[in-house]
């Protein structure tokens, strides 16, 4: 949707989960010392000012990254997440800027890798090009994920991560995302697929059907990680979110065993906050 701008939501509780998962997966891939392909299907601007009028209007980061920025346990468990936040804030110790998924990926990847970023919104696309222009291995595409992802697959480097983070502003986005994963998997069965989804109010929550649809794809090692920060609204409010990772790296779930309870406890708004971490398909 061209109306969606992530600047209103940068650094919120959903970003904490999705970007910690992103850092965990990329760190595991980089540890093998081999080149990788990274594709980000809904990239956004790549970096956001937490002092902007948009961010100050919602204040969502105050119930997200702001609550865990000094957490010593999480700093130990997800060091890349904190290093990149520190780097984008020039080591000032202040929290003035928050990186989007492209900036996390650009700083973890290197010149041996191929990193591709898609963004349809014209202004966000221009901002993304500017924010990534220092990274020669990063390729920014002004295109829609439904057209762009199949065009980039199969990649020349046959190992890597597809990161899928739609806005889900339209009900069809859930079915379209399942189809996107299904079709991409047929072209890149070796790839890891990490997909974010929201947990919304009772009148608009489609998480159950979405997870069921992803599970039916029967991709091995599909892991679900989700958490809530408050009670579910009757209508539309987002009370939590989740990541489903297909072809998850070995040990990925174990790495989340300490992270997920900690962010749930630290970001909880009320006593209903809870988390869920489970395997949806077997390893083989």
Q: How far is residue 224 from each of residues 11, 33, 112, 160, 195, measured CA to CA in Å?
A: 21, 27, 30, 19, 10
The string of DSSP codes covering 165-188 is -----STHHHHHHHHHHHHHHHH-
Separation of first and last alpha carbons in the chain: 37
User: Hey, how many other C-beta atoms are within 10 angstroms of the C-beta on 89?
Assistant: 17
Of 117, 112, 120, give the one whose Cα is nearest residue 133. Answer: 117
The C-alpha atoms of residue 138 and residue 141 are separated, in whole angstroms, by 10
Residue 165 is among the residues annotated as catalytic for this protein = yes
The C-alpha atoms of residue 255 and residue 161 are separated, in whole angstroms, by 17
> Looking at 15, 165, 233, 270, which residue is catalytic?
165
Phi, psi of 253 (to 5 degrees): -60, -40
Q: Tell the burial category of 33 from Cβ atoms under 10 Å away from its Cβ (0-12, 13-18, 19+).
A: exposed
Of 223, 258, 263, give the one whose Cα is nearest residue 243. Answer: 223
User: Could you give the residue numbers annotated as active site?
Assistant: 165
């Amino acid at each position: 949707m061209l109306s969606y701008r992530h600047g209103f939501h940068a650094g919120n509780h959903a970003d904490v989960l999705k970007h910690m998962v992103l850092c965990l997966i990329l760190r595991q891939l980089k540890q093998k010392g081999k080149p990788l392909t990274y594709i980000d299907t809904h990239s956004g601007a790549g970096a956001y000012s937490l002092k902007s009028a948009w961010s100050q209007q919602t204040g969502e980061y105050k119930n997200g990254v702001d609550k865990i920025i000094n957490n010593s346990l999480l700093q130990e468990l997800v060091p890349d997440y904190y290093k990149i936040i520190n780097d984008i804030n020039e080591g000032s110790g202040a929290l003035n800027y928050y990186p989007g998924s492209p900036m996390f990926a650009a700083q973890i990847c290197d010149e041996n890798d191929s990193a591709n970023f898609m963004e349809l919104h014209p202004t966000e696309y221009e901002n993304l090009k500017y924010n990534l222009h220092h990274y020669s291995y990063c390729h920014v595409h002004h295109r829609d994920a439904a057209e762009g992802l199949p065009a980039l697959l199969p990649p020349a480097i046959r190992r890597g991560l597809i990161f899928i983070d739609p806005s889900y502003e339209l009900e069809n986005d859930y079915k379209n995302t399942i189809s996107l994963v299904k079709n991409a998997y047929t072209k890149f069965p070796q790839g890891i697929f990490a997909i974010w989804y929201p947990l919304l109010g009772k009148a608009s929550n489609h998480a159950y059907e979405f997870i069921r649809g992803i599970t039916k794809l029967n991709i091995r090692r599909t892991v679900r990680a989700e958490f809530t920060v408050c009670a579910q609204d009757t209508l539309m409010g987002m009370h939590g979110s989740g990541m489903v990772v297909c072809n998850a790296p070995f040990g990925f779930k174990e790495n989340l065993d300490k992270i997920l309870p900690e962010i749930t406890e630290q970001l909880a708004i009320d006593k209903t906050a809870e988390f869920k971490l489970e395997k949806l398909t077997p390893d083989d």
